[in-house]
Structure 1
Amino acid sequence: MSLIALSFTIIFVMFTMLISVWQKLDLEKDIAIGTVRSAVQLLLVGYVLQFIFNSDHPALIIAIVGFMITVASINAGKRGKGLRWISLYIAAAITVTELLMMGLLLGLGIVEPTPQYIIPLSGMTIGNAMVVSGLFLNQMKREVESSKGEIESLLALGATPRRAFQDVLKRSVKSSMIPTIDGMKTVGLVQLPGMMTGMIIAGADPVEAVRYQILIVFAFTSSAAITSILLSLMTYRQWFTSDMRLRSL
């Protein structure tokens, strides 16, 4: 795609801003800022990846993956405002998920140990884990608020925090995985996923593109389950005070 053709895509943004003005949504500023930021960020990432791909140095790969985990953890941590060290817990859950996913992919020889495979696959895994973490924390807040009486009754009867929270944790984990599972059920029927579409546009064999997309779908489902379960196990005590009362967020 030429730069001239790419510049024409600004028409989509302008159309969206006009709709915002017409409907008095007051989103023009956010859309403009988002447009500039996304363009600048993606261009910078493109040059950074080009440099890393050319250098092929393990330290640079680890650095970029670590940076992605840090940003994802901070962003998802905003959903758990009021919980102590929540971003660190999210970072730990995402790191374990990333190590398991890449360990299996590389250890079984499913993908080659090169930056061209490791960084994009890590980015998609980490991004999916970030979304799942945010959904889990949002659902936990709703569940704790709606089940406050039940939880406090169980605690008063001598239940441990884990036992009092067991049903809440189960519902929150299930809720955080719904988008991933729904996407898995409808992939190829409702939407053609980004990786598959990108490979086809780039000229790859559609069957080969489908194989890689199947890999991503299965990895996403597994990473979503691992992330949400780990996060539930590591953070449930953060909802309680030192004297085992529910914390007010």
Structure 2
Amino acid sequence: MNSQLNVTNLSLLFSFLLVMIAMGISTKEKLGLSKDILIATLRAVIQLSLIAYVLKYVIQVDNTWLTLLMSLFIITNASWNAHKRNPSQHKAFKSSFLAIAISTYVTLGVLVLSGSLAFIPSQVIMITGMIASNSMVAIGLCYRNLNSQFRDQRQQVLEKLALGADVKLAAQSILRESIRVAMQPTVDSAKTVGLVSLPGMMSGLIFAGIDPIHAIKYQIMVTFMLLSTTSVGAVIAGYSSYKYYFNESQQLRDE
């Protein structure tokens, strides 16, 4: 099977018309997003162009330590973005970093040890990016739900504390709901994969000329790993972050 995908500079230029459509809709409907869309587009082009040259070098060198350093860079960047998405005044970067690092490396380790993934830059770095980005999104959802639930259920939490509950018991229902919210998009995506959506991994491999049957096997593996990383990441982020809503005297902080 030969690949029919041929993206030239001219075709990329024409595809920019799609961005113009989005900007046109924003302008017509007065959404105020035209500037953000343009900035996002420019950043995407610059960032992707730079990372292409970096990846080309890393893949050619094929050094274990350089590969690990690149994966650590991805995880650190994802952790910082997840940390910024936490609306709470009381938060710590280490919570996001530990959640994403552990969920990513545990999932990555299982794939490498099982033989599903070879420890080479072209595979490890790509999969690390997929895992870390999904963990980042899930953790961001967990943070936002924690913050809103602690605000909405403040009185209930105070009552539980007054009745003698410790901070974990007082926050248990909020914590469980936040983890569930974080995991739900990945679970829903897994339910509809192949029926509604044809994900990027499978589509990319088919574009590259890989037999669809083999491409589907890779996509099944991706589905498994995303379920793992979002659940592990959300649990670690949730259990390490809810404590920051309480002070040393186990009293609920004021937001």
TM bracket (short chain):
over 0.9
Unaligned runs of 5+ in 2: 1-6
Q: Structure 1 counterpart of 2:193, which letter?
A: V
Deviation at 1:85, TM superposition (A): 4.7
Q: Residues of 1 paired with 2:19 and 2:116: CA distance?
A: 39
Query: 2:205 aligned with 1:204, yes or no?
Result: no
Deviation at 1:73, TM superposition (A): 1.1
Deviation at 1:135, TM superposition (A): 0.2
Q: Residues of 1 paired with 2:127 and 2:250: CA distance?
A: 41
1:30 to 1:63, Cα distance in 2 relative to 1, 3 A:
same
CA displacement 1:70-114 (0-9 Å, x = unmatched): 111111112224454522111011111112111111111111111
- Match 1:69 to one of 72, 75, 95: 75
Identify the residue that residue 233 of structure 1 maps to in structure 2: 239
Q: Residues of 1 paired with 2:143 and 2:83: CA distance?
A: 8
Deviation at 1:53, TM superposition (A): 0.4
Q: Residues of 1 paired with 2:105 and 2:84: CA distance?
A: 24
Q: Residues of 1 paired with 2:233 and 2:38: CA distance?
A: 33
Identify the residue that residue 35 of structure 1 maps to in structure 2: 41
Determine if contact 1:80/1:86 at 8 Å carries over to the other structure. Answer: no
Determine if contact 2:103/2:229 at 8 Å carries over to the other structure. Answer: yes
Identify the residue that residue 247 of structure 1 maps to in structure 2: 253
Identify the residue that residue 225 of structure 2 maps to in structure 1: 219
Q: Residues of 2 paired with 1:85 and 1:155: CA distance?
A: 21
- Match 1:185 to one of 191, 197, 201: 191
- Match 2:129 to one of 116, 120, 123: 123
Amino-acid identity (%)? 35
Q: Structure 2 counterpart of 1:194, which letter?
A: G
Determine if contact 1:136/1:228 at 8 Å carries over to the other structure. Answer: yes
Matched residue of 2:115: which SS?
coil
Q: TM-score, normalised by structure 2?
A: 0.94
Select between 62-71 and 166-175 the one with higher mean Cα deviation.
Answer: 62-71
Q: Residues of 2 paired with 1:170 and 1:211: CA distance?
A: 32
Select between 24-33 and 127-136 the one with higher mean Cα deviation.
Answer: 24-33
Identify the residue that residue 161 of structure 2 maps to in structure 1: 155
Determine if contact 1:196/1:213 at 8 Å carries over to the other structure. Answer: yes
Determine if contact 2:87/2:143 at 8 Å carries over to the other structure. Answer: no
Deviation at 1:173, TM superposition (A): 0.6
Unaligned runs of 5+ in 1: none
- The alignment yields a C-alpha RMSD, in angstroms, of 1.2
Q: TM-score, normalised by structure 1?
A: 0.96
Identify the residue that residue 99 of structure 1 maps to in structure 2: 105
Taking CA–CA contacts closer than 8 Å with sequence separation of 6 or more, which of the two structures ends up with the larger relative contact order? 2
Deviation at 1:147, TM superposition (A): 1.4
Q: Residues of 2 paired with 1:146 and 1:235: CA distance?
A: 17
Q: Residues of 2 paired with 1:150 and 1:173: CA distance?
A: 19
Q: Residues of 2 paired with 1:42 and 1:248: CA distance?
A: 42
Q: Residues of 1 paired with 2:151 and 2:254: CA distance?
A: 10
Q: Structure 2 counterpart of 1:8, which letter?
A: F
Q: Residues of 1 paired with 2:92 and 2:228: CA distance?
A: 22
Aligned residue pairs total: 249
Identify the residue that residue 3 of structure 2 maps to in structure 1: none
